[in-house]
Every structure is written in structure tokens, then in C-alpha cells.
Structure 1
Amino acid sequence: MSRHENLDIDTVPEYAENSVDTQTKAAFAARPAWAYRLETWLPRLVVAPTFLCSLIFVYGFILWTGWLSLTKSRLLPRNDWAGLVQYQKLFASERWWVACQNLLIFGGLFIAICLILGVLIAVLLDQRIRLEGTLRTIYLYPMALSFIVTGTAWKWMLTPGLGLEKLMRDWGWQTFTFDWLIDPDMAIYTIVIAGVWQSTGFVVALFLAGLRGIDDAIIKAARVDGAGPWRIYLRIVIPSLRPVFFSTFMILGHIAVKSFDLVMALTGGGPGYATDLPATYMYTYSFTRGQIGLGSASAMVMLGGVLAVVVPYLYSELGRKRHD
């Protein structure tokens, strides 16, 4: 008779599990001491290069940029302390305030239009319409492009004598003009158009995911109580999407603050400096005008703007996790 024949069938898995655990513990106990040290330090050694590079090339250069903003650096870095001289020059610059004003216009319209269109399109796609997958792909396709490609394409379409203006005149509207791209008062709105076209699909995807995550039982109960579609969306669906609204606002705000490539490809900051944003201002003074100190000061102010957007988002997310 085998030594396992007297075991009850129900006890076999437990016995096997205990046997495996015993063997595993014995194998671990038999390992040399260096194996324990290697197991402990190997993950740290693997992560260390990435952590060190991030520490140097992100946070280290942020600190260096902050230091340069407090010096009289021009074409080359200098280490002489100058206090807040560069910040005084920055805030006395008319071009800087034009860039900040453009950021408010671009950022406000960009965020508002993306949110409105994103919600409306997501609600329409949530009705289980035909070709939903095709339409979702069409709206998401611009997100696969870089802002350089988007800016170049829209520059072709909006340049007077080409694109939209030429198309309309070829169709018979000989007096049609669309010269926003060369109009100092209207050029900033061409950046809004291109930015909205690029980012709306991303917003649609976020809100569509949020809509699909709402409990259908709540909506069915509201319908039983006699609530119509508009009331359901205004009283139940939209309030349930509050976290999505907040997250989307933070992401779009972050994109608006650091916008650079779209402006450079579409308008180059012109005509003149009518479409300058803080990012293009920083690039111009740092790399083309030999004003490293002034460019560093503008970069630090931009960092403050990004932190003003990101920190409340992180604080709200961490606070919500603590409550959960």
C-alpha cells in the first residue's frame, strides 16, 4: 500500500500545497547569502539609471534654469548674481504681455470648445448609432498626428490664395476672402481652430469612456419615474461626469500652457509677434536673440503656470484616494 492511500481525497490539495511550500522554503534556505543580496538590490540597480537620468536632465536642468534666470546671462551662461533683474525686464516687456494675453485667448477658447464639442459628440456616439466604430476612429485620427503636422496642414488650408480661399473662389464665390492668418487681430484664432481639430477626438474618447461607465440602473430608474432624455442628461449624466470634466480641463490646460510646435508651424508667432505665446517667447529670446537669462525667467514663469494647473489636480486626486 502506498503511503498516500490513507489520505482523504479532500486533503490531497492541501497536502500538496504544504509539500510545495516546504520544498520552496527549503530551497530558499539553501541559497547562499549573495543570492539574497542580489534579489534585494537587483530591482534598485535596474531602476537606478532611469531615476538618475530623470534627476539630472529634468530636475537638475530646472534648477539650472532657475539659477540662470537670476543672473545676467546673455549669449552664454554667466554665474554672476543679478537678483530679479531678468524678471523685471520680463514683466516690463510689451511682447511678454501680448504672449500672456494670447495664452488667455487661446487657452480659454481651446478648452471651452474642446469640452463642448467633446461632450456633444460623445453623447451622440453613446446612442449606439451605426458606424460608431468608424466615426470614433475619424474623430480620434487627428490625435495620431503631431502638432507640427497639424500646423503645417492648416497653414496650407488657411493661407490666402491657397486652400480654403482658393477652393471657394474656384466654386464661384470670387469675392470670398479668408485672411485670418495674416491679420494680426485674427491670427490667434487660427491657432484655436487647429488646436481644437487636433484635440477634440481625445476629449470625445475620455467622455465616451465616462458615459459607458455610468450605471444603467440609475438611468432606467429615472425613466421609470418619468424623466425625459434632457432631464436625465442634465440631472444624472453630466453630474456623474464631474471627474472627467476636471481631468480633461487639467490636461487641456497643460497642453495650452506649453503650446509651442503648433504656433511655430502655423504662424511662427506672427504676423509680427501677434500670435506669440509664452513658450514661443521663451524660445525666441533664449535661442535666437541671445538673451538666455530673460528666456530662463520666462521659462520659470511658465513652470509656475503649469504647476498652477497640475498641483490642484494632483491634490484633488490624492484627496479622493484618501477618502476612498
Structure 2
Amino acid sequence: MIQSTRPAQYGFAERWLPRLVLAPSFLLSLVFIYGFVVWNGYLSFTASSLLPRYEWVGFHQYARLFANDRWWVAVFNLFKFGVLFIGISMLVGIFLAILLDQKIRFEGFIRTVYLYPMALSFIVTGTAWKWMLNPGLGLEKLMHDWGWTSFTFDWLVNPDMSIYTVVIAAIWQSSGFVMALFLAGLRGIDDSIIKAAQIDGATLPRIYWKIILPAMRPVFFSTLMILAHIAIKSFDLVVALTGGGPGFSSDVPATYMYAMAFTRGEMGLGSASAMMMLLSVSAVIVPYLYSELRRGSR
């Protein structure tokens, strides 16, 4: 009788023990992530200022947001930053991946050097590039000390160019990660396809352009989604490198949201901007998830 109950007890434990172990983290995530997302969404429709106020005002905060010039500067900066950051990072990553795919000497060492910036936080990257691009400390001063007194590189303090310093730092940090993704994709291509193309007389550049790169469409799409996600949420790099300045010339939506909600006491306006960022991230992630689900069903 005892032997017949043990399998049932073991089956019960196998079914419910993993669920009991995961339940606390699931509940905490449900409350402190999704619960606060819902709460933030509700605050965006209220008259909250320094502290939450639950007086319903409809779309008033969104109307204020869209009428705010600083918000549109942040949106346009995000567009410039996103296009340049994603485009150049992918180009540099593909080039480095193709270079390493040629089985060059010291490949492991070179790959480590390229990947090293990704091990740093964006705060460290922003601080380092702030020193390097500071006209009184970095590149411009070095050129002047070497005798090129006419050399100027004042992008960090130039309102029209400050956002491009963020682009430079972000590309430097993320290109190695993109290289790793593409290199993994290249190493997954069947060598017999390449050998067959070489037998037919195709040159190596034509093989990459016509055969290998088109076969890596899933890698391109995944990389695009990841970089777009990083670009939309950019905050710490901007804060460490430019602080959103000079003035608010290098603001992005994340720094705008922080300034409104935690510096200027406009919690309702900051919540509205955060919801717009959430919609932007959703616009990137939802198509990706949909394509993955369709691929899995096939």
C-alpha cells in the first residue's frame, strides 16, 4: 500500500514544487513591474504634480506633452540617435564579423578586444568619453599640445552637435556586441554552400552579398530589435556624457521624463512621457514577438 502511494506523492511534488518556488518571484514581478506600469498609466490621466493626485483630467497631460517644445526636441534627438546608432553599429558589426570570419591570426584576442566595451556600463562609457571629448581635457587639448592649434572639436559643448557625441559613445560600446551576433550567424552558415559557389566561380565579396548576408535575415532582424530597444531606453549614457545639455539640446525622452517627474515636480507630465516611451518600445517588441510566434508555429 505504501509503495503505491509514493509515485503519486512524487508526481504531486514534481508538478507543484517548481510552481511554488517560482511563485514569489512571479508575484513580485507582477506587482512591482506590471502593477506600477498600470499605476503610471493611471497617473498620466490625472492632475499629479509633485505628489500623486488622483483627480481625473483625461488627456490633458498628453496635450501638454505634445505642446511642449522640449519634448519634441527629445523626440527628434531620439530619431537622430536611433537612426545613426542602429545603422552605423550594424555596419561596423557586420564588417568586423566578416573580418574575423576569415580565420585570421589571434582571432580570440581580437574578438575579446572588440567585445570588451560591452562589459562596461553606460555610465562608465559616458564618463570616459566625456573626458576624451572635453575641449579643455581631451582630444582638442591633445591636438593643441602637439602644435595643431587650429584644431577644434567642441561637439560636447555645442548645442547643435552634442547629440552626436552620444552616438559616438554608443556605437563604440555596442559594435562589438553586434559583431558577436553576426559572427555567430556567419559560423552557422553551411560551408558546403560557400564551396559550391566558389566552384561556380563566384568571388568572395559576391558570395557574402548574394548568399551569406541574405541567409542571415533572422540575425539582422534580431539585432535591429535589440538596438532599437537600447536606443529608446537610453538614459544613463546621456546623463553621464552630456547631462541632456547644453541646455536641453541632447535630451531624449528618457531624460525628459526624469526631469519632469523628479526634478520639476510634474509627475503627471512625466508619466505621460513614460507611457509614450512604453508605446514606442511596444511598437518595436510586439512585431518581433509576433514573428517569433509565427516561426515557432510553422
TM-score, with length taken from structure 1: 0.90
Distance, in Å, in 1 between the alignment partners of 2:109 and 2:294 is 38
Q: Select which of 110, 121, 124 maps to 1:135.
A: 110
Q: Which residue matches 2:28?
A: 53
The equivalent position to 2:201 in structure 1, one of 226, 229, 232, is 226
The correspondence for 1:257, drawn from 211, 225, 232, is 232
Q: What does 1:128-167 correspond to in 2, within 5 Å?
A: 128-167=103-142
Could you list the per-position Cα deviations for residues 28-52 of structure 1 after superposition, in whole angstroms to 9, with x for gaps in the alignment? 5242976654443222111100100
Does the alignment pair 1:299 with 2:274? yes
Matching residue of 1:20: none
- Whether 1:31 and 2:6 are equivalent positions in the alignment is yes
TM-score by length of 2: 0.97
CA distance in 1, matches of 2:192, 2:223: 26
Where does structure 2 lack aligned partners over 5 or more consecutive residues? none
* Aligned match of 2:56: 81
Matched, 1:99 2:82: no
Bigger shift: 33-42 or 277-286?
A: 33-42
Per-residue CA distance 1:140-172 (angstroms, 9 max, x = gap): 000000000000000000011111111111222
- Picking from 202, 215, 220, the partner of 1:240 is 215
Question: How far apart, CA to CA, are the structure 2 residues paired with 1:84 and 1:273?
Answer: 25
1:186-205 superposed matches below 5 A: 186-205=161-180
1:322 aligns with 2:297: yes
C-alpha change, 1:226 and 1:87, in structure 2 (3 Å) is same
Q: Percent identity?
A: 67
Partner of 1:288: 263
Q: Larger Cα Rg: Structure 1 or Structure 2? A: 1
Q: What amino acid is the match of 2:124?
A: V
SS at match of 2:84: helix
Q: In the aligned structure 1, how far is the partner of 2:9 from the partner of 2:184?
A: 49
Amino acid at match of 1:250: M
**Residues 157 and 30 from structure 1, CA distance in 2 versus in 1: closer, same or farther, beyond 3 angstroms?**
same
Of 261, 276, 288, the match for 1:313:
288
Alignment match, 2:249: 274
Count of aligned pairs between the two proteins: 298
Within 2, Cα distance between the matches of 1:166 and 1:28?
Answer: 82
In structure 2, the partner of 1:125 is: 100
5+ unaligned residues in a row in structure 1: which ranges?
1-25
In 2: Cα distance, 1:232 partner to 1:98 partner = 43
Structure 2 residue 21 is the aligned partner of structure 1 residue 43: no
Whole-angstrom CA distance in 2 between matches of 1:32 and 1:234 = 59
